[in-house]
Amino acid sequence: MTILIRNGTVVSSTGATLMDVLVDGETIAALYAPGASASQGIVADREIDATAKFVIPGGIDVHTHMEMPFGGTMSADTFETGTRAAAWGGTTTIIDFATHHTGERVQDVLAQWHAKADGNCAIDYGFHQIIGGVDDDALKAMDELVAHEGVTSFKLFMAYPGVFYSDDGQILKAMQKAADIGATIMMHAENGIAIDVLAAQCISRGETDPVYHGLSRPSVLEGEATHRACVLAGVAGNVPLYIVHMSASEALEAVAAARHTGANVFAETCPQYLYLTLEETLAKPGFEGAKWVCSPPVRTGHAHHQADLWKGLRTNELAVVSTDHCPFCFKEQKEIGVGNFSKIPNGMGSVEHRMDLIYQGVAAGQLSLNRWVEVCSVTPARMFGLYPKKGAIAPGSDADIVIYDPSASHTLSVETHHMAIDYSAWEGVTVPGKAATVISRGQIIVDDDQYLGRKGHGRFQKRGLSQYLS
């Protein structure tokens, strides 16, 4: 099938240009100056008029957790429902996490995640590998996954003692291995040992409401862990280090300081940290605040975390916006933690809304149009070895294209979202802009408020190494 997109403004990380885009099969075949496709007699099976709309590379969300076991339950979105919701919002590729625990064989865990996703995804997908127990077998598995499986990034945790936690020695060993093979280490950077003490002290005092999830995870402990991770990465030989879901000014300062020395240190943030505050979410009366329990927590609005994160996005101290999409229903799942905030399953659902929420930053003057595309598509592709197959509107690239209407607006709500959760963390928020047409590898999967995609269209993407190494 051929598709000709006429009269749209093609937006990249470097500019915005009026162009026509020709899709042939699964890839982009050609770009034409305005009117050139008509003058050359180019015709297609389907023509789309994109006048006054942006034509952008499909969004890439590099941090999702579909069907993830956590706290005695499992995240509510399957690979089928989660990727369908992502498509509605203009995301055409996700990278999820195969979740390993101590005592498990890493390769077996990866095979389990392949079985969950294979034949079920509406859009393309890849995997990072969580290493929940760093031992000799896990270190050897890192070699195999990079060399043969197209899995080139490994997530470690400084949080969750007894579940995913790695101590500094284990982290250093994994970083040394990653440095040898060119892999990226992703880090959940919070001081979990100290946080567990603070949480236990809160509970012993009867402070059990959801707000204490945030108060027991102070931002300075995210900053401390981030600094420590940067130091260890340097000791390991300037291994590429990617700090996930950054929420705090102190953590951003640590990354900025490392980057200013030339270190291969990068970071992402998420929409919840750019827009929501502890006071308006976790601190809601009763148990309502459980809807926004995630880690790191949504931070206080009385500090300058949000302003610093937006500045970090503008200055490239923050490289990527992902979602950490890990949704749990309020009923029966979040309610596991009634009477004990430490039992509340950690996670929020935003995979459907990321592109719109960050475009809201463009409309508000926080980001440029080009930077929006860069942090939501181009940099994720380059950071995790998918570029230029993904993240580009260029001949030969996959035809993952979003035609985005900046004049549209819509209101986010549980009544209209497509994620498999019984509430919206963004209930009532009206956002400017909307994905009018979403194309995945040459197939139109969303068009004019109609879903045209199908389960099983998405393919696993083997990834190369990061393209940002100094």
Helix (H) / strand (E) element for 16: namely strand 16-24
Residue 72: the pLDDT is: 85
How does DSSP assign 360-421, residue by residue? HHHHTTSS-HHHHHIIIIIHHHHHTT-TTTSS--STTSB--EEEEEEEEEEE--TTT--SS-
Q: Could you state, in chain order, the average pLDDT of each consecutive group of 10 residues for the chain (470 residues)?
A: 97 96 98 91 95 98 96 94 98 98 95 98 98 96 98 98 95 98 98 98 98 98 98 97 98 98 97 98 97 98 98 98 98 97 97 98 98 98 98 98 98 98 98 98 98 98 92
Residue 301: the pLDDT is: 97
Neighbours of 370 (CB within 10 A): 16
What's phi and psi for 76, nearest 5 deg?
A: -70, -30
Identify whether the C-beta of residue 254 lies closer than 8 Å to the C-beta of residue 226: yes
Count Cβ atoms within 10 A of the Cβ of residue 169 and give its class: 0-12 exposed, 13-18 middle, 19 or more buried.
exposed
User: Distance of alpha carbon 48 from its chain centroid, rounded?
Assistant: 29
- Tell me the pTM: 0.98
HSE-up (13 A, CA, CB side) for residue 153: 30
Long-range contacts of 252-261 (CB under 8 A, 24+ apart): 252/308, 252/309, 252/312, 252/317, 252/318, 253/223, 254/223, 254/226, 254/227, 254/230, 255/226, 255/230, 255/317, 255/318, 256/312, 256/317, 257/227, 257/230, 258/230, 258/233, 258/234, 259/317
Domains annotated for the chain, with CATH where assigned, are 2-56+394-451 (2.30.40.10), 59-383 (3.20.20.140)
C-alpha span between 41 and 35 (Å, rounded): 10
Give the total residue count for the chain.
470
